[in-house]
């Protein structure tokens, strides 16, 4: 539902903006004088030494105000007032500043002369692994690692993820498109990049109408949200690498589009090098067209075949919920090895480490469906295998019980029965801004989101744990924010493919500015699910046995969820609610 709401909200925002522009358009006589276009003699920029002989700080010092865009003459471009630019090889580089003002555009060019050679790039592992080094006169060719999950992916640009949170491509999922035969060749000599797509490229749908691509993107064939487009290659460009805060970034510039398999419109043609080794290149980039997205790529050298270790994970149910877990049927290539296994039993218990061939037993107390995960420590890294266990009965020693009292799930200071997590928002534990009654806690949570109206803080119960609403239906949380802001508490079942269809929710309106108050959410009489979806629905979740126990396992807190734009924040503490059946073993 989050993604559907996001697209609806974005469309609504665009329509609202168009209406506002139409309604507020002044009459011709009311239009301000936008002035004359700037002249070249009003533009200027400085070129100053940077951190070493190969980095230069280039800064706009023009006498007029405008939006600066740059062509640094070394194959890279940029924007903004000041940029740090690397020139590792001797030569005369034409640095061009274009300044756009309300009145028009002007351009000036200066020559930067580099006399030094950065010989370190010829031995730098990043350059050597990317290009094959000085011995690879024809460069090194990379292709998408189509057989690996996550070879393409997308996530939240505002989060701390790696571009795989929203979608991580399954192996060969884009077979039949123009993605998998694309080749990128990086050559160290003159920093040349060659792109060969075998005649067809694969692009995001929003790229097909880009005017800059009209001359090369012909005869589009619709493929869901993305397009195959005829595009004759090879084409050539230049690449450059800069280091920013210990992270390497590669920029690709060319007259015609060059991209690694799927063209998402990389902002400034710039990609973060997450890792580069002899046989793996991992990149991420932001989209210039969808600013909220971060995209992910895995590439491998052309012709490279990953060594693989195959195995079978077993989880066999025995007596009274004792499950025996093991890994067998290994196929381990020469030169590779497996040293041990870490087991996660999927019920919130501690992980257990065992030997490669060891059988590990675990007793489950509560009935339910659990995913056993084997994390296999190997010479190829951590390999992961899973096996699902379905237990129809509780362990004989387990005593089911219900309490009519509330428990604290998390108070940010001492009690953390369940951790607080963040989805598309900033969530931090901070000092209490006012340690006064009714909340004298030392630490509290601070939630903040910009745009992204359904961003939320949440807790998710481990497998086998569910909220029980039969004897206690009230949730409480200490809130401190701005009067009039709306806090929504929502319960969901995360099991279905579309959890939003299971939800039940209540809102609380903050009464006073910057004052701790207790928000109460009583679910007695509140409907669950959505009757218009055709899925399960109840007019009162407390009275319906399908909803009131063994069902909800996720609790979400949102701020002003009906407001799509702007920054919204609040403090909260002492998140508490009904006893969770299954928490006691």
User: Could you read off the pLDDT of 367-419 as tens digits, one per residue?
Assistant: 888 999 999 999 877 899 999 999 999 899 887 666 677 888 888 877 788 88
For residue 424, the SS3 value is coil
Name which residue leads in pLDDT, 543 or 497.
Answer: 543
Specify whether the CB–CB gap between 56 and 49 falls below 8 A: yes
Q: What is the pLDDT of residue 445?
A: 95
* Total H helices, total E strands in the chain: 2, 42
- On whether the CB atoms of residues 43 and 65 are closer than 8 A, the answer is no
CA 271 to centroid of chain Cα atoms: 15
- Distance, in Å, from the CA atom of 517 to the CA atom of 477, rounded to the nearest integer, reads 8
- C-alpha span between 444 and 460 (Å, rounded): 19
Q: Highest mean pLDDT: which of 205-209, 230-234, 302-306, 516-520? A: 516-520
Q: Which of 5, 10, 296 is nearest to 157 (CA)?
A: 296
pTM: 0.50
Instruction: Using pLDDT thresholds of 50, 70 and 90, give the confidence band for residue 35.
Output: low
Structure token digits, residue 173: 């999922």
- Residues 363, 546: Cα–Cα separation, whole Å: 27
What per-residue confidence (pLDDT) applies to 583?
A: 52
DSSP string, 457-488: EEEEPPTT-EE--SS--EEEEEEEB-TT-EEE
Q: Identify the structural domains of the chain with CATH numbers, from first to last.
A: 40-116 (2.60.40.10), 121-301 (no CATH), 310-391 (2.60.40.10), 406-581 (2.60.120.260)
Distance CA 225, CA 205 (A): 5
Residue 483 has pLDDT above 60, yes or no: yes
3-state secondary structure of 514: coil
- What is the CA 230 to chain-centroid distance, rounded? 30
Q: What is the mean pLDDT of residues 119-136?
A: 92
SS3 500: helix
Q: What distance lies between CA 101 and its chain's CA centroid?
A: 35
Tell me the pLDDT tens digit for each residue of 225-259.
Answer: 678 888 888 999 999 888 877 889 999 988 888 99
CB-based contacts of 319: which residues, under 8 Å, 6+ apart?
A: none
* CA-closest candidate to residue 271, choices 284, 253, 256: 284
Written as six digits, the tokens of 417 are: 């029965």
Task: Give the number of residues written for the chain.
Answer: 585
Give whole-number Cα distances, 270 to 75, 78, 264, 398, in Å. 12, 10, 12, 56
């Amino acid at each position: 539902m989050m993604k559907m709401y996001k697209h609806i909200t974005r469309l609504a925002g665009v329509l609202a903006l168009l209406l506002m522009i139409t309604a507020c358009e002044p009459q011709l006589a009311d239009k301000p004088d936008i002035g004359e276009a700037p002249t070249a003699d009003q533009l200027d920029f400085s070129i100053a030494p940077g951190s070493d002989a190969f980095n230069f700080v280039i800064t706009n010092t023009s006498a007029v105000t405008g939006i600066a865009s740059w062509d640094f003459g070394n194959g890279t471009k940029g924007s903004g007032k000041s940029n740090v630019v690397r020139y590792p090889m001797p030569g005369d580089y034409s640095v061009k500043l274009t300044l756009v003002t309300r009145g028009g555009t002007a351009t000036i060019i200066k020559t930067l002369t580099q006399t030094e050679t950065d010989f370190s790039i010829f031995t730098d592992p990043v350059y050597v692994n990317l290009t094959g080094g000085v011995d690879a006169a024809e460069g090194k060719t990379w292709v998408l690692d189509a057989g690996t999950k996550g070879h393409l992916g997308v996530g939240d640009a505002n989060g701390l993820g790696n571009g795989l949170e929203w979608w991580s491509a399954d192996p060969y999922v884009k077979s039949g498109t123009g993605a998998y035969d694309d080749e990128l060749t990086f050559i160290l000599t003159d920093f040349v990049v060659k792109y060969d797509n075998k005649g067809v490229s694969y692009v995001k749908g929003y790229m097909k109408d880009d005017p800059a691509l009209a001359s090369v993107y012909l005869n589009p064939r619709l493929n869901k949200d993305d397009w195959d487009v005829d595009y004759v290659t090879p084409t050539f460009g230049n690449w450059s690498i800069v280091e920013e805060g210990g992270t390497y970034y590669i920029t690709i510039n060319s007259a015609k589009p060059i991209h690694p398999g799927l063209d998402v419109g990389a902002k400034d043609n710039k990609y973060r090098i997450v890792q580069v080794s002899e046989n793996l290149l991992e990149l991420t980039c932001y989209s210039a067209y969808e600013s909220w997205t971060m995209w992910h790529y895995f590439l491998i050298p052309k012709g490279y075949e990953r060594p693989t270790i195959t195995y079978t994970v077993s989880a066999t149910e025995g007596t009274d919920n004792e499950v025996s877990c093991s890994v067998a049927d290994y196929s381990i290539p020469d030169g590779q090895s497996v040293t041990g296994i870490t087991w996660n039993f999927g019920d919130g218990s501690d992980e257990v480490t065992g030997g490669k061939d060891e059988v590990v037993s675990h007793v489950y107390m509560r009935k339910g469906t659990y995913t056993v995960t084997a994390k296999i420590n190997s010479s190829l890294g951590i390999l992961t295998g899973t096996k699902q266990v379905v237990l129809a009965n509780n362990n004989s020693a387990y005593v089911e019980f219900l309490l009519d009292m509330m428990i604290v799930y998390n108070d940010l200071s001492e009690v953390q029965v369940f951790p607080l997590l963040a989805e598309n928002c900033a969530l931090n534990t901070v000092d209490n801004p006012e340690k006064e009654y009714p909340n004298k806690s030392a630490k509290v949570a601070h939630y903040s989101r910009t745009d992204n109206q359904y961003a939320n803080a949440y807790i998710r119960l481990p497998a086998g744990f569910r909220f029980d609403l039969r004897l206690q239906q009230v949730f409480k949380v200490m809130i401190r924010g701005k009067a009039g802001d709306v806090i929504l508490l929502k319960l969901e079942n995360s099991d279905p493919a579309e959890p939003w269809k299971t939800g039940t929710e209540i809102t609380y309106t903050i009464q006073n500015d910057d004052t701790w108050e207790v928000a109460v959410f009583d679910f007695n009489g509140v409907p669950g699910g959505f009757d218009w979806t055709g899925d399960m629905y109840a007019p009162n979740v407390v009275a319906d046995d399908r909803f009131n126990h063994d069902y909800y396992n996720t609790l979400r807190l949102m701020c002003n969820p009906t407001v799509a734009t702007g920054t919204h924040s609040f403090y909260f503490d002492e998140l508490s609610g009904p006893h969770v059946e299954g928490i006691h073993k």
